[in-house]
């Protein structure tokens, strides 16, 4: 089912908030570097089979990668957190999912607490 205009606006706002969080903490690197686990990483912390040492990207390419990665992270948040969230809660969970992976919101203690509305416990 397609999203309404209101839902699209909310989704865009959440992704914009999450992008600000990720960009601030990750920083922009236009050349591939090894992360702390020696995984090839580029742009705003993008990893995957498409990243090889020696790669370079433009700022525009990095922004596109970030948006795609955040959309995938946000999709995981929506699959696993089934209660309504504020934009801030959703953006924070999207950022965390981007950094840690879907396991932070799917099958986790955080998920269990969040889905009953116990945000203090979910955050702890």
Domain residues of the chain, as ranges? 5-123
Tokens of 119: 């945000």
Domain 5-123: CATH class, spelled out: mainly alpha
Helix (H, G, I), strand (E, B) or coil at 124: coil
The residue-averaged pLDDT of 80-89 equals 95
Report pLDDT for 10. Answer: 73
For residue 52, pLDDT over 70 is answered with yes
Report pLDDT for 11. Answer: 82
The residue-averaged pLDDT of 49-75 equals 97
CA 63, distance to chain mean position in Å, is: 13
The pTM assigned to this predicted structure is 0.87
Taking the C-alpha atoms of residue 110 and residue 103, their distance in angstroms, rounded to an integer, is 10
The 10s digit of each residue's pLDDT in 19-51 is 999 999 999 999 999 999 999 999 999 999 999
For residue 5, pLDDT over 60 is answered with no
Residues 6+ apart with CB under 8 A from 105: 76, 77, 80, 81, 93, 96, 97, 111, 114
The 10s digit of each residue's pLDDT in 106-122 is 999 999 999 999 999 99
For residue 2, pLDDT over 90 is answered with no
């Amino acid at each position: 089912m397609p999203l309404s205009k209101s839902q699209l606006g909310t989704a865009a706002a959440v992704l914009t908030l999450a992008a600000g969080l990720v960009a601030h903490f990750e920083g922009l690197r236009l050349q591939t570097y090894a992360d702390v686990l020696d995984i090839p990483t580029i742009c705003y912390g993008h990893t995957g089979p498409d990243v090889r040492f020696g790669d370079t990207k433009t700022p525009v390419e990095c922004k596109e990668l970030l948006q795609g990665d955040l959309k995938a992270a946000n999709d995981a948040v929506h699959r696993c957190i089934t209660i309504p969230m504020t934009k801030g809660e959703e953006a924070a969970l999207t950022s965390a999912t981007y950094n840690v992976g879907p396991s932070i919101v799917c099958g986790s203690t955080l998920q269990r607490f969040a889905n009953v509305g116990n945000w203090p416990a979910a955050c702890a």
